[in-house]
Structure 1
Amino acid sequence: MTATGKAGKSAGFTLLEVLIALALLAILMAGLIKISADNTQNLWYLENKTIAAQVAANHAVQLRLDREAPEKSDGWDSMAGRRWYWQARRDVAGTLDSGVRRYRIEVFLEGDQAPYAGLISFVAAGS
Protein backbone atom coordinates (compact mmCIF):
# COMPACT_ATOMS: atom_id res chain seq x y z
CA MET A 1 0.00 0.00 0.00
CA THR A 2 1.10 3.49 -0.71
CA ALA A 3 0.75 6.62 1.36
CA THR A 4 -2.66 7.35 -0.18
CA GLY A 5 -3.97 3.99 0.83
CA LYS A 6 -4.36 2.50 -2.67
CA ALA A 7 -2.55 -0.49 -4.12
CA GLY A 8 0.46 0.68 -6.20
CA LYS A 9 -0.04 0.67 -9.94
CA SER A 10 2.73 2.00 -12.13
CA ALA A 11 1.86 4.95 -14.35
CA GLY A 12 2.61 4.67 -18.07
CA PHE A 13 1.88 2.47 -21.04
CA THR A 14 2.22 -1.27 -21.30
CA LEU A 15 4.39 -2.83 -23.95
CA LEU A 16 1.30 -3.95 -25.88
CA GLU A 17 -0.10 -0.41 -25.98
CA VAL A 18 3.21 0.96 -27.25
CA LEU A 19 3.41 -1.70 -29.97
CA ILE A 20 -0.15 -0.95 -31.13
CA ALA A 21 0.60 2.76 -31.23
CA LEU A 22 3.78 2.15 -33.26
CA ALA A 23 1.90 -0.11 -35.69
CA LEU A 24 -0.75 2.58 -36.25
CA LEU A 25 1.96 5.20 -36.72
CA ALA A 26 3.75 2.98 -39.27
CA ILE A 27 0.52 2.49 -41.25
CA LEU A 28 -0.18 6.23 -41.26
CA MET A 29 3.39 7.06 -42.31
CA ALA A 30 3.24 4.55 -45.18
CA GLY A 31 0.07 6.26 -46.40
CA LEU A 32 1.70 9.69 -46.20
CA ILE A 33 4.74 8.48 -48.13
CA LYS A 34 2.47 7.05 -50.85
CA ILE A 35 0.57 10.35 -51.12
CA SER A 36 3.84 12.29 -51.34
CA ALA A 37 5.19 9.98 -54.06
CA ASP A 38 1.96 10.32 -56.07
CA ASN A 39 2.06 14.12 -55.75
CA THR A 40 5.68 14.21 -56.90
CA GLN A 41 4.87 12.05 -59.91
CA ASN A 42 1.85 14.21 -60.76
CA LEU A 43 3.95 17.37 -60.46
CA TRP A 44 6.54 15.92 -62.87
CA TYR A 45 3.80 15.06 -65.38
CA LEU A 46 2.16 18.49 -65.18
CA GLU A 47 5.52 20.24 -65.49
CA ASN A 48 6.34 18.24 -68.62
CA LYS A 49 2.89 18.90 -70.06
CA THR A 50 3.29 22.65 -69.52
CA ILE A 51 6.76 22.72 -71.09
CA ALA A 52 5.59 20.61 -74.05
CA ALA A 53 2.66 22.99 -74.63
CA GLN A 54 5.13 25.88 -74.73
CA VAL A 55 7.31 24.03 -77.27
CA ALA A 56 4.22 23.40 -79.42
CA ALA A 57 3.15 27.05 -79.17
CA ASN A 58 6.63 28.17 -80.20
CA HIS A 59 6.45 26.04 -83.34
CA ALA A 60 2.95 27.25 -84.15
CA VAL A 61 4.32 30.79 -84.16
CA GLN A 62 7.26 29.65 -86.28
CA LEU A 63 4.85 28.13 -88.84
CA ARG A 64 3.04 31.47 -89.05
CA LEU A 65 6.31 33.36 -89.56
CA ASP A 66 7.79 31.03 -92.20
CA ARG A 67 7.11 31.75 -95.84
CA GLU A 68 7.18 28.05 -96.67
CA ALA A 69 4.28 25.75 -95.93
CA PRO A 70 5.80 22.30 -95.46
CA GLU A 71 3.66 19.18 -95.47
CA LYS A 72 5.62 17.85 -92.51
CA SER A 73 8.44 19.13 -90.36
CA ASP A 74 10.09 17.90 -87.19
CA GLY A 75 13.07 18.49 -84.97
CA TRP A 76 14.52 18.60 -81.49
CA ASP A 77 14.41 21.40 -78.94
CA SER A 78 15.89 21.77 -75.48
CA MET A 79 13.83 23.43 -72.80
CA ALA A 80 14.03 23.24 -68.99
CA GLY A 81 17.00 20.89 -69.18
CA ARG A 82 15.10 18.30 -71.23
CA ARG A 83 15.12 17.37 -74.90
CA TRP A 84 11.82 17.52 -76.78
CA TYR A 85 11.01 16.01 -80.15
CA TRP A 86 8.33 17.89 -82.06
CA GLN A 87 6.58 17.20 -85.34
CA ALA A 88 4.15 19.31 -87.33
CA ARG A 89 1.92 17.80 -90.01
CA ARG A 90 -0.34 19.69 -92.36
CA ASP A 91 -3.89 18.35 -92.66
CA VAL A 92 -4.95 18.46 -96.29
CA ALA A 93 -8.66 18.28 -95.53
CA GLY A 94 -8.36 20.21 -92.29
CA THR A 95 -10.20 23.40 -93.28
CA LEU A 96 -13.04 24.51 -95.51
CA ASP A 97 -11.23 27.66 -96.63
CA SER A 98 -8.42 27.13 -99.16
CA GLY A 99 -6.63 30.22 -97.81
CA VAL A 100 -6.05 28.59 -94.43
CA ARG A 101 -3.81 25.65 -93.62
CA ARG A 102 -4.34 23.46 -90.60
CA TYR A 103 -1.35 21.99 -88.77
CA ARG A 104 -1.22 19.45 -85.98
CA ILE A 105 1.84 19.84 -83.76
CA GLU A 106 2.80 17.09 -81.31
CA VAL A 107 5.59 17.23 -78.73
CA PHE A 108 7.29 14.21 -77.16
CA LEU A 109 9.75 14.01 -74.29
CA GLU A 110 12.95 12.26 -75.34
CA GLY A 111 12.43 8.52 -74.91
CA ASP A 112 8.63 8.65 -74.60
CA GLN A 113 6.23 7.15 -77.14
CA ALA A 114 3.15 9.20 -76.30
CA PRO A 115 3.03 12.95 -76.89
CA TYR A 116 2.87 15.25 -73.90
CA ALA A 117 1.14 17.98 -75.90
CA GLY A 118 -0.81 18.32 -79.11
CA LEU A 119 -1.80 21.60 -80.71
CA ILE A 120 -3.91 22.48 -83.74
CA SER A 121 -2.75 25.66 -85.46
CA PHE A 122 -4.31 27.48 -88.40
CA VAL A 123 -1.96 29.37 -90.71
CA ALA A 124 -2.96 31.75 -93.50
CA ALA A 125 -1.84 30.42 -96.89
CA GLY A 126 -0.49 33.78 -98.02
CA SER A 127 1.80 34.34 -95.03
Structure 2
Amino acid sequence: MTPSRVSAEQGFTLLEVLLALALLAIAGMSVLSMSGESVRNTTVLEQRTLARLVADNQMTEIHLQKQLPTLSWQRAEHELAGQQWFARFRSVKTADNDFRAIDVEVRSEQDEKSPILATLRSYMVKQG
Protein backbone atom coordinates (compact mmCIF):
# COMPACT_ATOMS: atom_id res chain seq x y z
CA MET A 1 0.00 0.00 0.00
CA THR A 2 1.22 3.39 -0.81
CA PRO A 3 0.75 6.31 1.59
CA SER A 4 -1.66 8.07 -0.74
CA ARG A 5 -3.85 4.97 -0.97
CA VAL A 6 -4.01 4.54 2.85
CA SER A 7 -5.25 8.09 3.39
CA ALA A 8 -7.90 7.66 0.70
CA GLU A 9 -9.40 4.62 2.52
CA GLN A 10 -9.69 6.30 5.94
CA GLY A 11 -12.75 8.28 7.17
CA PHE A 12 -16.37 8.41 6.05
CA THR A 13 -17.89 9.69 2.87
CA LEU A 14 -20.27 12.62 2.95
CA LEU A 15 -23.18 10.28 2.15
CA GLU A 16 -22.38 8.05 5.16
CA VAL A 17 -22.21 11.06 7.49
CA LEU A 18 -25.53 12.42 6.21
CA LEU A 19 -27.18 9.03 6.61
CA ALA A 20 -25.90 8.72 10.19
CA LEU A 21 -27.18 12.22 11.01
CA ALA A 22 -30.58 11.42 9.52
CA LEU A 23 -30.85 8.26 11.64
CA LEU A 24 -29.87 10.21 14.78
CA ALA A 25 -32.45 12.90 13.97
CA ILE A 26 -35.21 10.30 13.60
CA ALA A 27 -34.23 8.63 16.88
CA GLY A 28 -34.11 12.02 18.62
CA MET A 29 -37.58 12.95 17.38
CA SER A 30 -38.95 9.64 18.68
CA VAL A 31 -37.45 10.25 22.12
CA LEU A 32 -38.89 13.79 22.22
CA SER A 33 -42.31 12.51 21.20
CA MET A 34 -42.30 9.85 23.92
CA SER A 35 -41.20 12.31 26.60
CA GLY A 36 -43.95 14.75 25.56
CA GLU A 37 -46.54 12.00 25.78
CA SER A 38 -45.21 11.05 29.21
CA VAL A 39 -45.66 14.62 30.45
CA ARG A 40 -49.25 14.70 29.14
CA ASN A 41 -50.03 11.37 30.82
CA THR A 42 -48.65 12.58 34.14
CA THR A 43 -51.45 15.13 34.47
CA VAL A 44 -54.12 12.56 33.65
CA LEU A 45 -52.67 10.05 36.12
CA GLU A 46 -52.53 12.70 38.84
CA GLN A 47 -56.19 13.59 38.27
CA ARG A 48 -57.25 9.94 38.37
CA THR A 49 -55.22 9.23 41.50
CA LEU A 50 -56.77 12.18 43.34
CA ALA A 51 -60.25 11.20 42.13
CA ARG A 52 -59.69 7.68 43.47
CA LEU A 53 -58.75 9.14 46.86
CA VAL A 54 -61.98 11.15 46.85
CA ALA A 55 -63.96 8.00 45.97
CA ASP A 56 -62.26 6.09 48.80
CA ASN A 57 -63.06 8.91 51.25
CA GLN A 58 -66.70 9.04 50.14
CA MET A 59 -67.05 5.27 50.49
CA THR A 60 -65.50 5.40 53.96
CA GLU A 61 -68.00 8.08 55.00
CA ILE A 62 -70.87 5.91 53.78
CA HIS A 63 -69.63 2.88 55.71
CA LEU A 64 -69.06 4.93 58.87
CA GLN A 65 -72.65 6.22 58.77
CA LYS A 66 -73.82 2.57 58.82
CA GLN A 67 -76.85 3.54 56.76
CA LEU A 68 -77.45 2.47 53.19
CA PRO A 69 -77.75 5.27 50.64
CA THR A 70 -80.94 5.50 48.62
CA LEU A 71 -81.33 3.75 45.28
CA SER A 72 -81.21 7.12 43.48
CA TRP A 73 -78.00 9.09 43.02
CA GLN A 74 -76.98 11.41 45.86
CA ARG A 75 -74.35 14.09 45.44
CA ALA A 76 -71.45 15.30 47.55
CA GLU A 77 -68.65 17.80 47.07
CA HIS A 78 -65.12 17.36 48.37
CA GLU A 79 -61.99 19.46 48.33
CA LEU A 80 -58.66 17.73 47.89
CA ALA A 81 -55.29 19.10 46.80
CA GLY A 82 -56.75 22.57 46.31
CA GLN A 83 -59.35 21.31 43.83
CA GLN A 84 -63.09 20.81 44.07
CA TRP A 85 -64.33 17.27 43.35
CA PHE A 86 -67.87 16.13 42.67
CA ALA A 87 -68.97 12.69 43.84
CA ARG A 88 -72.24 10.89 43.45
CA PHE A 89 -73.26 7.64 45.10
CA ARG A 90 -76.16 5.22 45.42
CA SER A 91 -76.99 1.74 46.57
CA VAL A 92 -77.85 -0.99 44.09
CA LYS A 93 -80.17 -3.90 44.84
CA THR A 94 -78.70 -7.39 44.89
CA ALA A 95 -80.32 -10.82 45.02
CA ASP A 96 -80.30 -10.63 48.84
CA ASN A 97 -82.54 -7.84 50.18
CA ASP A 98 -80.30 -7.37 53.22
CA PHE A 99 -77.19 -6.92 51.08
CA ARG A 100 -76.58 -3.97 48.77
CA ALA A 101 -73.85 -2.80 46.42
CA ILE A 102 -72.70 0.81 46.84
CA ASP A 103 -71.47 2.71 43.77
CA VAL A 104 -69.42 5.92 43.92
CA GLU A 105 -68.42 8.04 40.91
CA VAL A 106 -66.10 11.06 41.01
CA ARG A 107 -65.74 13.87 38.47
CA SER A 108 -63.69 17.04 38.42
CA GLU A 109 -66.69 19.03 37.14
CA GLN A 110 -70.26 19.17 38.37
CA ASP A 111 -71.67 18.51 34.90
CA GLU A 112 -72.98 14.93 34.60
CA LYS A 113 -71.65 14.79 31.03
CA SER A 114 -68.06 15.35 32.15
CA PRO A 115 -65.89 12.23 32.21
CA ILE A 116 -65.89 10.02 35.28
CA LEU A 117 -62.36 9.95 36.68
CA ALA A 118 -62.89 7.26 39.32
CA THR A 119 -65.52 4.66 40.12
CA LEU A 120 -65.68 2.46 43.16
CA ARG A 121 -68.02 -0.35 44.23
CA SER A 122 -68.34 -1.79 47.68
CA TYR A 123 -70.96 -3.83 49.52
CA MET A 124 -72.91 -3.24 52.71
CA VAL A 125 -75.31 -5.19 54.86
CA LYS A 126 -78.50 -3.53 56.05
CA GLN A 127 -78.35 -2.65 59.72
CA GLY A 128 -81.46 -3.67 61.27
TM-score (norm 1): 0.72
Aligned length: 122
2:119 paired residue number: 118
Specify the alignment match of 2:97 in structure 1: 98
Higher helix share: 2
CA change 1:26–1:82 in 2 (3 A) is farther
What one-letter code is carried by the residue in structure 1 that aligns with 2:16?
A: E
Structure 1 residue runs without a partner (length 5+): none
Deviation, structure 1 residue 83: 3.0
Asked whether the equivalents of residues 106 and 117 of structure 2 are also in contact (C-alpha less than 8 Å), the reply is: yes
Aligned partners of 1:63 and 1:123 also within 8 Å: no
Q: How large is the Cα RMSD of the aligned pairs?
A: 2.9
Match of 2:62 in 1: 63
Name the CA shift for 1:6/1:95 in 2 (closer, same or farther; >3 Å).
same
Aligned residue number for residue 36 of structure 1: 35
Using the aligned pairs only, state the percent identity. Answer: 33
CA shift for structure 1 position 30:
0.9
Unaligned runs of 5+ in 2: none
**Amino acid across the alignment from 1:57:** D
The CA distance in 1 between the partners of 2:89 and 2:37, in whole Å, is 33
CA-to-aligned-CA distance 1:53-84 (integer Å, 9 cap, x gap) = 22111111111122554423212223234432
